[in-house]
Amino acid sequence: MKTKSKFQMSKISITLLSLLLWSASSAAIDSKNIAIVIHGGAGNIKAAQLSSEQERAYKLKLEQARNEAYATLANGGTSLDAVVKAITILEDSPLFNAGKGAVYNFEGRHDLDASIMEGKKLQAGAVAGVQTVKNPIVLARAVMEKSDHVFLAGQGAEAFAEQQQLSLVDNTYFNTEKRFKSLQKAKQSLLKTSWNQTDKDLEIDYKMGTVGAVALDQYGNIAAGTSTGGRTAKRYGRIGDSPVIGAGTWADNRSCGVSATGHGEFFIRFNVAADICARVKYQNLSIQAAADQLIQQELANIKGSGGVIVLDRQGNIAYSFNTKGMYRAFKNNREEHVAIY
């Protein structure tokens, strides 16, 4: 009877070790534990302001974005794929303040911002002040994956988009009658008073309406993204929190993923998205408790308005907002939901 050589035994050992490692890795991956949560902006959204047809239109678009993103995950797509899928659908809809439905700046044009982040290696990409990119979230992902940078702005970002052969459009593509009327109302108010007083007086969603998504894929990775047209009648190249990594967008597999919407200046100052995940990571808070601490307490105490959506690696979902409403929807392996108020 022949005995196996040391070389053969070594090969068998390596094979067994590989199988054990593969089994351990497979056990850590739960193909059923996928989830998606999206938002279409938080603000002064009242039931009395929306007709039944308008409310139905918002919910249908939220459901479409949620369901197509979830299908992406269910078919083996990554969390980044799902986030981009959801946000491009919302960017292409005139209902939301991103992409096609973006608000106007003071000069009557549209400046678009977006960011995206993945939680495995903490890579991120962001763009600000772009005027000809059809889907800014796609450009943000390209910055993350195909450049050496994290944040590009203005003409440089658009030149990179052209180099990457992304869809470019004339700035008038983003025009909508609803947003134009909001611009006229905001400008009339600004001519009479200060920004602070305008914040209090205007009953229009002129500084909010950002869209965002956070996803968990079957590989255990979290991704988050945010896209916006900013605030109506913004001037001087103003940039809010949406493209700012840590303020409007954050993702870390060790804690959670967050996309924010609201009065961007406050979210930047308080580094809201990253702070929520830091509280989960270092204080062992639930994502709901961490979100509520920032939104319902700290921001509310200084009259900072807005909201967040949050998702952790177990597929738990949370949202918190201190405004009249927030367009939102989610789906995981246990339930699905869509709501406005």
Question: Which residues are designated catalytic?
Answer: 210
The two three-digit tokens of residue 272, written as one number? 């809201």
33 in Cβ contact with 331 (< 8 Å): no
Residue 134 structure tokens? 């059809």
CA 170 to CA 162: how far, in whole Å?
13
Q: What is the DSSP string of 9-43?
A: HHHHHHHHHHHHHHHHHHHH--TT--EEEEEEEEE
User: What is the rounded distance in angstroms from the CA atom of residue 148 to the CA atom of residue 153?
Assistant: 14
> Rounded to an integer, what distance in angstroms lies between the CA atom of residue 38 and that of residue 79?
13
CB 325 within 8 A of CB 46: yes
SS3 176: coil
Q: What is the H or E stretch that residue 81 is in?
A: helix 79-91
Look at residues 114, 134, 24, 120 and name the one whose alpha carbon lies nearest to residue 79: 120
Neighbour tally for 4: CB within 10 Å: 10
DSSP string, 144-168: HHHSS-SEEEHHHHHHHHHHTT--B
What is the 3-state secondary structure of 273-296?
HHHHHHHHHHHCCCHHHHHHHHHH
Q: Hey, is 75 helix, strand or coil?
A: coil
Region of 100 on the Ramachandran plot (φ > 0 left; ψ -120 to 50 alpha; else beta): alpha
